[in-house]
Amino acid sequence: MERVTLQTIADRVGVSRTTVSNAFSRPDQLKEELRQRIMEVAEELDYPGPNPAARTLRRGRAGVIGVVFTEALSYAFADSYAVGFLRGLARVAEQSGTGLHLIGWPSPGVAEEVIGDAVVDGFCLFSPEGHPLVETVLRRRLPVVTVDHPYVEGVPFVGIEDRIAAREVATHLLDLGHRRIAIVAAQPMAAQAAATRPADWLDVDLAGDHRFGAGRARLAGYHDACVKAGVSWGDVPIHRTTNDREIARRAAEHLLDLRPRPTAVIAATDEIAFGVMDVAAQRGITIPGDLSVVGFDDVPAAEPAGLTTVRQPITEKGTTAGRLLLKPSRQDPSPCVLMDHRLIIRRTTAAPGDALAT
């Protein structure tokens, strides 16, 4: 069968090709009777509508932002931080009539193909620490904004001073008297796969606060505070895990098996902190009597849990990233936006118990 096109319908109705195109994309430009006739003929000819890619080329824009996650796509719906960020990004997108195309990381080859074929006006890179897809996105030569990390010269960036915030977390515990502190660090699965050596990602010899990745910047902040307090960094147990409560429990089990047991655990995210608290509860370890726990993010579940954590503007990060993509500033087209944070002290931290402090 001959392929049905807009011109086929135009010839059948006796109008121009532009008129038929308007019936699909700009219906307000036609009288309702004419538009209805065009749609009836299109249905008779089994015409599905204009090709989206061709329509995008004609309009010069897709009306879609690509949001690139460097974890499995399900992460975007399961992680409280990701959900809050997307809520903010979606608000700005809705205001401009723009859609979101969520892109996960099923495998390097598949993800690169999806990014290469994505019909979008720009990309939002969400926490792509140590991820090879950053270069794939940049090769598209489309507007890009990165969130949390990494900072790329000439690319708009949204984040907080992670190193400073992490330093405040560790200082809080050290000021309470804790000296046996353990850390559960959050490393994206993709970064784990890309590391040439296990120690690569744990390097805290960084030249800046935000540009080398939030995870490593937080480790550097913990390091700064420990060294200043006279705690040997080499004696601080560090366990790497992903930002998943269930998986974090395994890391917590490892750390709480140590002898002597840590008096405090610093979790790189709230989800990881919840995993530590789960294991402590299972073992009858009281919080904060036997163990202090600190998280990072202040997700909605943190306050009911009484979790001491770092509050950062999760949803506002999303709205800011959206504005930088959809309403870029002519004066500063590639700003580095560092947002405020605050240490929120709740009931999961206290001075170490006498038995453990000695």
pLDDT digits (tens, 9 = 90+) for 4-26: 888 899 999 999 988 988 888 77
Element (H, E) at 38: helix 32-44
Query: Which amino acid is residue 351, in one-letter code?
Result: A
CATH number at 162-313+342-357 = 3.40.50.2300
Look over the chain and give the mean of its residue pLDDT values, rounded to a whole number. Answer: 83
Evaluate if residue 169 carries a pLDDT over 70: yes
Split at pLDDT 50, 70, 90, the class of 208 is very low
Query: Which amino acid is residue 95, in one-letter code?
Result: Q
* Domain covering 64-160, topology: Rossmann fold (3.40.50)
Q: What is the pLDDT of residue 55?
A: 54
| 64-160 and 162-313+342-357 share one fold | yes
Residue 266, beta-bridge partner list: 183, 294
Closest CA to 212 of 221, 272, 321: 221
Evaluate if residue 118 carries a pLDDT over 70: yes
Evaluate if residue 125 carries a pLDDT over 80: yes
Cis peptide before 300 (omega within 30 of 0): no
Q: Domain-by-domain residue ranges, the chain?
A: 6-50, 64-160, 162-313+342-357
Split at pLDDT 50, 70, 90, the class of 338 is very high
pLDDT in tens, 34-50: 999 999 998 898 887 76
- For residue 297, the SS3 value is strand
Domain 6-50: state its class. Answer: mainly alpha
Cα Rg for the chain, rounded, in angstroms?
26
- For residue 241, the SS3 value is strand
Split at pLDDT 50, 70, 90, the class of 59 is low
Q: Average pLDDT, stretch 327-346?
A: 85
Evaluate if residue 86 carries a pLDDT over 90: yes
Q: How many C-beta atoms surround the C-beta of residue 102 within 10 A?
A: 14
Cis peptide before 150 (omega within 30 of 0): yes
**What is d(CA 169, CA 217) in angstroms, rounded to the nearest whole number?**
13
